[in-house]
Amino acid sequence: MITKKDFGTTQSGESVALYTLENSKGVSVDLITYGATINAIRVPDRNGEFADVVKGFDTIEGHEKYSNYQGMTVGRYANRIADGKFSIDGTEYALEKNEKGITCLHGGGELSHAVWKAIITDDTSIEMSYSSPDGAMGFPGKVDFTVKFTLYEDNALKIDYSAVSDKKTVINMTNHAYFNLAGKGDILSHVLMINADAFTPTDSRSIPTGELRKVEGTPFDFRTAKPIGRDIGADDEQLKQCRGYDYNFCLNEGDGPAAVAYDPESGRMMEVFTDLPGVQLYCGNFLDGTRPGKGGEPLIQYCGFCLETQFYPNTPNMPDFPQCTFDAGEKFESSTVFRFGLYNA
């Protein structure tokens, strides 16, 4: 079942719609056309009590004024591009440096702050589309983006991304939901598994050094599930420079989940499946409680964790990384699934 209602108007006067997808079990997902954003996901705990498990905002004003990409679709290039530049076939492109004036972060934020067009494709799916003009944020090519959200009866939310450019360009899309399976407090007691033998350490700008560092024997080893907070404050150079986890993990190949998280208190569990080579774990390290979220509740440090499925950061400048450059007319396609359930200890 899908319902639609008004979510307000942006500062520039564009109307924003909210669509709610609900399955027969009462699990529901709110999507808004501003940023093609996941605005809420309501799932039950082991006692059947429902809670919203994503952090964000109740109003369009909140998204425009306070957002750190909560729930938003991110692109053209998710994560960071060093020095706001890259080259294709000998031509250098200068990008919007929207992070500290030195880095292009999340494609300059274009897709996340646009109002997308939405259509209901069937009683379980919403498809949103946005066309980015050639040269937007410095990127080459006019690109037509689509993001399809489908809620299944097994409580899985599938996101299908696709994009086509009229020029050779780079494309890397993800969703930036901040999850809190307890629906409140911080996520340090959440237990997390990431199926990755290596991660990409970064320099002081959060740009990968090029090393694929083994997680074994480090605080970055989530191959066996452990509480997020167990090692987040460890005496580790990488953790100190980011105040915790804000790193890309190099996913192992296989059919199983890329990541699994659960909240021991509520029993809520989330499995993540993707066809992309990496996932960025971010834990809201730089939130400080000064931004009001839903219901006016402050967005505190570690109030949510992100699992952003992606190509690795700065890939256009790192030829040894799995590449995401697409020819004119070549289609970028990717799917990520967040499946919710209960953890049985």
Q: Which one is catalytic: 63, 106, 176, 190? A: 176
pLDDT of residue 345 exceeding 80, the answer is no
183: Cβ contacts below 8 Å, ≥ 6 apart: 51, 52, 53, 266
Average pLDDT over the chain, rounded to an integer: 97
Read off the tokens for 171.
């494309």
Could you confirm whether 113 is annotated as catalytic? no
**pLDDT score for 173:** 98
User: Domain range holding 27?
Assistant: 2-342
Read off the tokens for 185.
């407090």
Please tell me the chain's helix, strand, coil percentages from 3-state DSSP, rounded to the nearest 5: 10, 45, 50
Q: CA-CA distance, 268 to 278, in Å (whole number)?
A: 24
C-alpha atoms less than 13 angstroms from C-alpha of 338 in its C-beta half-sphere: 29
What confidence category does residue 165 fall into, taking pLDDT thresholds of 50, 70 and 90? very high
Instruction: Work out whether strand 268-274 and strand 259-262 pair parallel, antiparallel, or are unpaired.
Output: antiparallel
Q: CA-CA distance, 338 to 252, in Å (whole number)?
A: 18
CATH of the domain at 121: 2.70.98.10
Question: Residues 19-49: pLDDT tens digits?
Answer: 999 999 999 999 999 999 999 999 999 999 9
* Percentage of residues of the chain with pLDDT beyond 70: 100
Number of domains in the chain: 1
Could you confirm whether 14 is annotated as catalytic? no
22: Cβ contacts below 8 Å, ≥ 6 apart: 1, 2, 3, 28, 29, 151
**pLDDT score for 344:** 82
Question: Residues 191-216: pLDDT tens digits?
Answer: 999 999 999 999 999 999 999 999 99
Q: Which one is catalytic: 96, 127, 271, 308? A: 308
Question: Residues 221-235: pLDDT tens digits?
Answer: 999 999 999 999 999
pLDDT of residue 334 exceeding 90, the answer is yes
